[in-house]
Chain A
């Protein structure tokens, strides 16, 4: 057993516990400094996770836990997201009232869940890591205890999250019952016979319900707008980036890595799911006036675009998902950091709160504009190249499947619709309405650094995609189970 594989997770757990303990000795006035210390620690963790000292590939706990390029890709991704969220939370501190350190610690624990999710090679670990994420988010979402909307968000997430977990457990039970195993490698080896079993397929479908909830894909998207709007901005940002990506990494492992044949057979299901998600998100976003709610619908629409990569069912599709998520993380974190900074200052996250931002804070205005433009998928931003990769992966697979052409048409229509509401935000920034208050919005140095990093990420991924694309390509290339020892054991 190679325990060194979970070094990263152990370090993260220790980090969370350290924050909780340090809180006992740190005076309330210097809790922000504690947050900045945590940011520095997460920075070191990120450097460790993407550096050459990171755990080598391998599997541990009898195949439960794997470290491969895919896992490493997502671990770096999750740690960066957590880092940005903690920076956001430091600035957001006055709104929490008490319990800032707990917010930090819970963010780190959610991160631990995501790190495990990235390495999950077994339905049990999949479930446990998802539950760790979900349970911490119950608390994170309702962290503004004096604000009704925040409590409502927490309760909604709790109830719907609970229901989806129940579906998932049921599904896992069915799978275990039919396959005698919950290990992905074993399932991969047996998928031919398992695909004949209706109970197994039923179980798989129920597991997809749970993952669909995480990704906010239709028809499991109902919670997203309310929770996005009600939760404190840092929690929303983490939900939008981390939780969604955790759903997708597990989806890729399960559908593309473990049961590719069944995925191919079910591809109509994913076509419908993807198209409906894109249309629902795009259409419902049109009338929104609240920025965070708008981002909620936009996040649903983006789940739909990401599902295009699953529809493609190819390595290129998964690569596209990874690349798109990379750009999406920078974009959404930049957007939420700006939204959070504005909300701190003007006590509103309505779109009208943005009016005059172009004059008040040209820097924040430019960052938010670039993030929005990237979400809309316009060059030279990251979102454009991601969408191109996704569309290309679907077109690659489209020969002989007319429904894929319809899906592409839906995606194009979705992009055009999304342009309408995204550009409405740009309008509000530069010329929508007159704002009487033209004082500059204060931005802390740490926030500034995160914003510059996000903008650099958006632009670099948009203009020089080669680097990340290569990494994503490698990550997906190592996905196949055929070479792992557990699969051989099961096959013989």
Chain B
């Protein structure tokens, strides 16, 4: 079996095996889930290390025809390039961490792990798929598990409402995107939803600009709803606050990136005219994420709501990088996606552990916990500092790259982004650190204890990945850059055809000017 299929099947096989274990063998179930997710993570790491950096095109490709009837022609087509190899890696890591932090789930243990494994499988499949139908298929696989997990193991009084809210928003976004995808299928006339086939077909038969203008927003805003683009974002913080820790980690960390990935994979490279028309709108809405969500995060008293809102603010950077349409900006976006997956996974794991110890996430009631929990406190400081954009962590590398990449085309947005990311976000994070870790110790938290050795594994794993990619982002950028070039290059072609007749030299000059910056 080829390697990408095995990374999708590993969690599925684990889920099936879990179904065979009797429900009251809790320890066996937990250990089996840990082994299964470790296997998945290991396969993902192996894939990442075997990936040839700096090489254009797809690797680990595999294609199996799936439906070929009449005008329907769909195939199971997986492959990895710079856009998704990093996401596959972090899906493995965050998935493993999510299983590790779920040790103290007590009710319906079997159902919990089966659903979690389905979420991991869905995310892996979505990132690996090159056929858009399969992308959608895998992405939706996580919907029902999310709903049930929030309802059964969720937190807070509002979880019922939150479960419906997140489900309905995600479905509305997904269906809008689905209509866009089907319309794209019909309009493109390639009788395929395979990205590689579509790309080849559209190179010779480009879609009329008017068609792109109405299909592009369906796909982009549909998927952007799954990411939490302002103003379609309100499901995210409440959903994450109500979700059990593992679900919040998987959703905020991994599944949210699927929407961005789809936009990068299909909308930008395949519909350049639509992108020209609509990306300015996306850029303006990204400001909503950067400013509004960061500002909302600043006002939160609940740690989970703070993390949820700040994670939405980080998505603003990702959209900004996409809207810049430069190689550096797109590379930065992918870097942000990978880094933020680790960061969101870490943050929700941290808040989950804190809740098990203190029984609350209300920051006004906490204080002085650093003295009681030195390891935990250090991990939290590192994680939140990474969120502020401290150099040395992968997030800084990603956000700085996005800012460099966007400076030319969207200078005023860069200023706003820098302000929100580096100032408002930092204030929010530092205030949270002060409220939770510093100040006088509260007597009611005298029984709080630091993490055991083995419980440190998920934190250590995610933090070391963040530091590794922060110290040498080249590991990622060398893999991402060829793919980012392909995304942007495909975009340049029609504008050259359209505009450059008047100024033949202008656009190639702009296109070559951007890689010149990428010396770092």
Q: Interface SS of chain A: helix, strand, loop or mixed?
A: helix
Cβ contacts under 8 Å, A362 to chain B: 23, 111
Interface size classification for chain A:
35 or more
Shortest Cβ distance from A322 into chain B, in angstroms?
Answer: 12
Residues of A within 8 A of B168 (CB): 416, 419-420
* Option from A316, A384, A398, A416 in Cβ contact (under 8 Å) with B71: A316
**Those of B117-166 within 8 Å (CB) of chain A:** 133, 136-138, 140-141, 143-144, 147-148, 151-152, 160, 163-164
User: Does A358 contact B108, Cβ atoms closer than 8 Å?
Assistant: yes
What number of B residues sit within 8 Å (CB to CB) of A?
37
Consensus secondary structure, chain B interface:
helix
Chain A residues lying within 8 Å of B167, measured Cβ to Cβ, are 419, 423
Partner of A380, one of B23, B141, B152, B182: B141
Cβ 8 A contact of B137, one of A315, A380, A430, A431: A380
Contact A469–B69 (Cβ < 8 Å): yes
Partner of B67, one of A408, A419, A465: A465
Contacts of A380 in B (CB 8 A): 137, 141
Are A416 and B171 touching (Cβ within 8 A)?
yes
Residues of B within 8 A of A319 (CB): 69-70
Which residue of chain A is the closest to B144 with respect to CB atoms? A373
Report if A315-B163 is in contact (Cβ < 8 Å); known contacts: A379-B140, A392-B182: no
A358, A423, A473: which contacts B147 (Cβ < 8 A)? A423
A391 within 8 A of B: yes
Interface string of A218-252 (1 = CB under 8 A from B): 00000000000000000000000000000000000
Could you say which of B173-181, B418-426, B497-505 contacts chain A?
Answer: B173-181
The interface residues of chain B lying within 8 Å CB-to-CB of A211 are: none
Q: Does A288 reach chain B (CB closer than 8 Å)?
A: no
Q: Which residue of chain A lies nearest to B138 when distances are taken between CB atoms in the complex?
A: A379
Bitwise, B7-25 to A at CB < 8 A (1) or not (0) is: 0000000000000000100
For B185, what are the chain A residues with a Cβ–Cβ distance below 8 Å?
A: 392, 395
Check A420–B164 contact: CB distance below 8 A.
Answer: yes
Q: Closest approach, in angstroms, between the C-beta of B438 and any C-beta of chain A? A: 38
| Residue among B68, B69, B182 facing the most chain A CB atoms (10 A cut-off) | B69
Assess A466 versus B68: contact at CB under 8 Å? Given A379-B140, A416-B171: yes
Residues B182 and A391 in contact, CB atoms below 8 Å apart: yes
A316-B71, A395-B183, A431-B151 as given contacts; A412 in contact with B140, CB under 8 Å? no
A396 at the interface (CB under 8 A from B): yes
Pair B186/A426 contact, Cβ less than 8 Å: no
Q: Do B171 and A392 touch across chains, with their CB atoms under 8 A apart?
A: no
Bound CA–CA A423/B168 (angstroms): 10
| Nearest-CB residue, chain B, relative to A323 | B69
Beta-carbon contact of A378 and B143 below 8 Å:
yes
**A351-405 interface (Cβ within 8 A of B):** 358-359, 362, 369, 373, 378-380, 384, 388-389, 391-392, 395-396, 398
Chain B residue with minimal CB distance to A477? B70
Instruction: Indicate whether B72 reaches chain A with its CB closer than 8 angstroms.
Output: yes
CB of A427 within 8 Å of the partner chain: yes
Partner of A416, one of B68, B148, B175: B175
Q: Which residues of chain A have C-beta atoms less than 8 A from B143's C-beta?
A: 378
Which of A315, A419, A464, A469 contacts B171 (CB under 8 A)?
A419
The 5 closest A-B pairs by CB, nearest first: A379-B137, A431-B151, A469-B69, A412-B175, A379-B140
Residues of chain B whose beta carbon lies under 8 Å from any beta carbon of chain A: 23, 66-72, 108, 111, 133, 136-138, 140-141, 143-144, 147-148, 151-152, 160, 163-164, 167-168, 171-172, 175-176, 178-179, 182-183, 185-186
Provide a sorted-by-A list of 9 A–B residue pairs whose CB atoms are within 8 angstroms: A362-B23, A378-B143, A379-B136, A415-B171, A426-B144, A426-B147, A426-B148, A427-B160, A466-B67
